[in-house]
Amino acid sequence: MTQQPPAKPPEKPGTAPEKGSNNGLWYILVIGVISVVVLSTFGGNGSDEEISLSEFREQLGSGELNQSNVHDLIFGPTRLSWQSKSKADIEKGAESERHYVSILGIGSEARLELQHLLDNPTGERDEDDDEAATDAIAWTGGQEPSQWSGLVAMLIFPVLIITLIFFMLRRLGGAGSAMSFGRSRGRLYAQDDVGVTFDDVAGIEEAVEELREVVEFLRTPQKYQSLGGRIPRGVLLVGPPGTGKTMLAKAVAGEADVPFFGLSGSDFVEMYVGVGAARVRDMFQQALQRSPAIIFIDELDALGKIRGSGAPGGHDEREQTLNALLVEMDGFGTDHSVIVMAATNRPETLDPALLRPGRFDRHVLVDRPDIKGREQILKVHTQKVKVGNGVDLQRLARLTPGFVGADLANLVNEAALLSARRGDKSVTMEAFEDGIERVMAGLEKTSRIIVEDVKRRVATHECGHALVAASLPNTDPVHKISIIPRGMGALGYMLQVPENERELMTQAELESRIAVLLGGIASEQIVYSETSTGAQNDLQRATDMARRMVTEFGMSPRLGRMFYSESASSPFLDGGAQIRESIHSEETIREIDLEVKRIVDEAYRCAYEVLTARRTILDLLSAELFEKETMSADQMHEIINQHCESPRIVPGTAAAMASPEEPTNDSDSQNESAAEGS
């Protein structure tokens, strides 16, 4: 029998259970402080000097204690106390000590005798004489504080410390705290407090439909069970960072009418043995008590990495946690009314037992959005921004290839901040275009002073990139050229925007892209007969692209259509390659290096020929860019069209005829000729 979802979401979801009020602790602390102050002010001073009763009698009889050194004597029920200085002397700055004599336990006759002794210390006057003795010591019968007050003052601080420790341990004993090792850190969310639904998710319609079906299955399971279908036990969201995996999970929490527990994979990992596994069991137990329910684990790769990667024979706490998760998802006694959702951008590191059907039945790809998806995402993010009338979201989507949802949200925010800084009443198209450059190239450093010679070289370098891109086929159109420093160490940049989305790239397109990358260093060689360190990033990217052509794409006629790569790269993370043990011979590695060098050298020769044939245009573009610091694509094409009939040039024909020397096919020879500026 299928359990019905709860009638209403739990109160205060998304937060840990509320602790009891701490007002009682504060009351105890305040009362304790007041008690200490009162006792220290009005109570007996712990530094008083005690004198025995017999010694006190002897000092009175001998006259050692007299009116000059006994002042403000108080005859209390348990002791006698007095000051050694008068109030007048104390007010003048004299130091006074207080003395006392304990009379606790003496009889009434002894007390009367002691009073007579104070009235007649030397005993020279008869008891029947009514006249007061001249040497009598004045005393009062005030209430002297008992010694219990000092005892209370001594005990108040330990009591306060014990009370404070007690309340701290109670607080540490809650869920998610350091003392609750075995309790889950998952938080329970409700629909109203999440504030995100499927309507707020755009650009990834296929993933939304997959998750919408899961939510509908929880709402109306009879629709699917009548045909023999069963609810998926797990849904894994995979994709690059920033594509909206966590946003989809929030939308599920906002749409589902069942309890939704959310936590991170790192919440299970601890240094103490058995803690992670205990938290997994506790998490599923909480979900089972409220089933049907959904558990969402973000960054699953922190928990579910492939087992056996640790040291042989050692104990890996993470593996024990993963084993507990595997058993809870599909093992003996598994409850099928709890669905597990997870998100990761490193699925290649997950354990195969975790990915198999029966645990994660569905793998939902949340990929980078295409131009239509980017436009829809921009529409969602611009709803909260006051956008100007001239803003074209379709053009912005075309100018942002490769952007994910997080990048587009950041773009809208940057554009709004730029417009506010400029004092505009709405976000303009210019602000969006500046925001694109800021996101892609970094912050503009207008205050940085560049030497004129360096500035001219940078202008030549960037115009070399742009002119090669405008001259060769199979290249992306140039959008903008700038020599204003941006980001970390970038003295200039050339921005290209593809006309269409590319799922595949041909060998000709890759070779043209390498030639564009080498256009900057080729232009420096042509104009200045030497190169600079500014081409370091261009050379790195060109070499990496050529190596992938040889080792991964099979684009080398010499090595054939084989896969030679020795690195396992992540499909969703750039720069996440892991070097594996080499499986190739030294001869094969040498052949790979020679092929990479051949591709790079041919691309450099192509760029060198294009720029040599169009040296006049290169100089005009460099001079214009040096003067204006920024050049648009229309301005660049206007200069090119004024000095040539065709904007593009076919490598090896017109460029080869215009070249001063015919380059040879030998890789070493053409590298030497390029270095000499031929």
Nearest to 518 by CA among 457, 599, 604, 602: 604
Q: What is the largest CA-CA distance in the chain?
A: 148
Q: Count the Cβ atoms, other than its own, within 10 Å of residue 321.
A: 23
Helix axis angle, 615-628 to 633-643, nearest 10°:
150
Rounded Cα distance between 172 and 569, Å, is 43
Question: Rg (Cα) of the chain, in Å, rounded?
Answer: 43
For residues 263 and 389, the answer to whether their CB atoms sit within 8 Å is no
Q: Which helix (H) or strand (E) holds 80?
A: strand 79-83
For 469, the token pair is: 């891109």
Rounded Cα distance between 187 and 178, Å, is 16
For residues 591 and 551, the answer to whether their CB atoms sit within 8 Å is no
Instruction: Label each residue of 576-604 as H, E or C.
Output: CCEECCCCCCHHHHHHHHHHHHHHHHHHH
Which of 255, 319, 437, 462 is catalytic? The answer is 462
For residues 144 and 79, the answer to whether their CB atoms sit within 8 Å is yes
Is 462 marked active-site?
yes
Nearest to 517 by CA among 493, 500, 501, 497: 493
Instruction: Label each residue of 107-134 as H, E or C.
Output: CHHHHHHHHHHHHCCCCCCCCCCCCCCC
CA angle 620, 623, 624 (to 5 degrees): 85
Rounded Cα distance between 366 and 380, Å, is 18
Nearest to 196 by CA among 257, 255, 264: 255
Nearest to 458 by CA among 475, 481, 441: 481
What secondary structure does DSSP assign to 132-177, as a single string? PPTTPPPEE---PPPHHHHHHHHHHHHHHHHHHHHHHHHHHTSTTS
Which residue carries 């024979």 as its tokens?
313
Residues that are catalytic: 462
